């Protein structure tokens, strides 16, 4: 998973340099571009760099910024001192660095996500009078918007986020080895993958001040067992709890206007959409009545043998039952009009699917790898023609 994310970051950084509009120049270990104001941005640093002090001048011009991912290959460099000419440090600059120390001058006003997603630092040297940033309680904080930018670690397995913090930034706790994180009521939002791959995290309480939880905020928290959502959470990105395989309990306030729990499923009650399930391992599962749509991949890779779909459903979305290796049968209710790509792909034990006449679109990859499949279809229906074209066995209902 880390390798996959690193590849995406690398592509983004390369694309950023390609479309920046400035030609890169070189001096020693450094590539840089000259900005419109005549100052310099460092865009790339050689992995062989031994300079612990970032140069304040390149090509006779003042260095004022360090661009995205510039130091991402410098895994051997252990100490970095940033000069007071620098005002901006870009995204993922130290994303793969394992530093003993970094010195950040008062001139730096922007440093969001410079250490994300896996950069580590043992000691951050920053003045108490820094106008923009603070280092407190093991975390780098933006004073301007009271954002916890990055947690670097403290002793113990439990961590209390400081009162007054309003935002947990993207990747802020990514990979942290904590069992419990206590969030204060002052926090209003949790960023993208903020707690991703916190594999030792056991439970999380989302206090009443939080309104937004970002995409994959708790992705791959395999030790997570319980979640409590306050009554003001009204927006959650995709895959907030994806691959939280041991999640057994989700508690949502009855006063929450957006989300509810029914039959081990979290449902957006405004759209009657099933977002994810938890604590379901084997056997037969019945999707709650009233659910009209399903999130992509909501049941992917589960060990269910059968899923009972509700009346009122209109589509089987992308990858919905992908790699459900024990799924044996399913009846698609009347009213469903489409079956998306990979919906039942690689369901090797799937032997029976009942497809109603209302279905008028089935993606080419919907049933790939379903070697035992025999569909039950209406005579003259789209499903019958689909089966004939794809060489899928079928019987007339």
Annotation: CATH topology of 281-397: 3.80.10
CATH class of domain segment(s) 132-257: alpha beta
Using the predicted structure, report yes or no on whether residue 220 has a pLDDT greater than 90: yes
Contact (Cβ atoms closer than 8 angstroms) between residue 372 and residue 346: no
Dump pLDDT digits (tens) for 59-112.
999 999 999 999 988 988 999 999 999 999 999 999 889 999 999 999 999 887
Residue-averaged pLDDT of the chain: 92
pLDDT at 21 over 90: no
pLDDT above 90: percentage of residues in the chain: 86
Residue 6: the pLDDT is 45
pLDDT at 16: 45
pLDDT at 210 over 70: yes
Q: Spell out the domain ranges in the chain.
A: 1-126, 132-257, 281-397
Per CATH, 132-257 and 281-397 having the same topology is answered yes
Query: How much is the CA Rg of the chain, to the nearest whole Å?
Result: 26
Predicted confidence (pLDDT) at residue 12 exceeds the cutoff of 80: no
Q: What is the pLDDT of residue 119?
A: 86
Q: Out of 39-43, 140-144, 280-284, which region has the weakest mean confidence (pLDDT)?
A: 280-284
H or E stretch including 278? none
- Note the pLDDT of residue 24: 87
Q: What is the pLDDT of residue 76?
A: 87
Which has the closest alpha carbon to 367: 393, 336, 395, 397? 393
Among residues 18, 62, 17, the alpha carbon closest in space to that of 43 is found at: 17
Mean pLDDT of 15-42: 81
Within 10 angstroms of residue 173's Cβ, the number of other Cβ atoms is 26
In this predicted structure, the answer to whether residue 132 has a pLDDT above a threshold of 50 is: yes
pLDDT of residue 4: 42
How many whole angstroms separate alpha carbon 382 and alpha carbon 185?
A: 54
Distances from the Cα of 244 to the Cα of 100, 164, 173, angstroms: 32, 29, 16
The 10s digit of each residue's pLDDT in 152-197 is 988 889 999 999 999 999 999 999 999 999 999 999 999 999 999 9
| Tokens 């600059």, located at residue | 93
pLDDT of residue 282: 85
Question: What is the third-level CATH fold of 1-126?
Answer: 3.80.10
Percent of the chain with pLDDT over 70: 94
Q: Tell me how far apart the alpha carbons of residues 361 and 230 are, in angstroms, rounded to a whole number.
A: 40
- pLDDT for residue 246 is more than 60: yes
Compute the distance between CA of residue 5 and CA of residue 7 in angstroms, rounded to an integer: 5
């Amino acid at each position: 998973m880390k390798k996959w994310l690193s590849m995406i970051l690398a592509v983004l950084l390369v694309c950023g340099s390609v479309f920046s509009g400035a030609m890169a120049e070189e001096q020693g270990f450094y590539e840089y571009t000259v900005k419109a104001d005549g100052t310099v941005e460092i865009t790339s640093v050689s992995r062989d760099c031994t300079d612990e002090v970032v140069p304040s001048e390149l090509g006779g011009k003042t260095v004022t910024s360090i661009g995205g991912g510039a130091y991402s290959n410098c895994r051997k460099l252990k100490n970095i001192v940033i000069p007071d000419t620098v005002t901006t440090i870009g995204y993922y600059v130290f994303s793969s660095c394992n530093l003993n120390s970094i010195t950040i001058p008062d001139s730096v006003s922007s440093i969001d996500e410079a250490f994300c997603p896996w950069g580590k630092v043992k000691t951050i040297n920053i003045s108490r009078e820094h106008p923009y940033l603070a280092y407190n309680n093991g975390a780098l904080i933006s004073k301007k918007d009271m954002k916890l930018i990055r947690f670097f670690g403290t002793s113990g397995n439990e961590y209390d986020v400081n009162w007054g913090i309003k935002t947990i930034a993207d990747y802020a706790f990514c990979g942290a080895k904590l069992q419990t994180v206590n969030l204060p009521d002052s926090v209003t939002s949790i960023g993208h993958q903020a707690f991703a791959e916190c594999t030792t995290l056991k439970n999380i309480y989302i206090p009443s001040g939080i309104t937004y939880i970002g995409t994959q905020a708790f992705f791959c928290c395999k030790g997570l067992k319980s979640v409590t959502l306050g009554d003001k959470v009204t927006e959650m990105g995709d895959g907030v709890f994806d691959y939280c395989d041991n999640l057994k309990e989700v508690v949502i306030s009855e006063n929450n206007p957006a989300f509810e729990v029914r039959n081990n499923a979290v449902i957006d009650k405004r759209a009657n959409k099933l977002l994810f399930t938890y604590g379901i391992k084997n056997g037969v599962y019945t999707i709650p009545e009233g659910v009209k749509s399903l999130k992509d991949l909501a049941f992917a890779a589960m060990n269910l043998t059968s899923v009972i779909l509700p009346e009122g459903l209109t589509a089987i979305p992308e990858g919905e039952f992908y790699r459900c290796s024990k799924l044996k049968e399913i009846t698609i209710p009347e009213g469903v009009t489409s079956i998306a790509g990979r919906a039942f792909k690689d369901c090797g034990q799937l032997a029976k699917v009942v497809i109603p006449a209302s279905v008028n679109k089935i993606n080419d990859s919907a049933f790939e790898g379903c070697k035992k499949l025999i569909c039950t279809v209406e005579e003259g229906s789209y499903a019958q023609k689909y089966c004939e074209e794809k060489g899928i066995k079928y019987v007339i209902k």
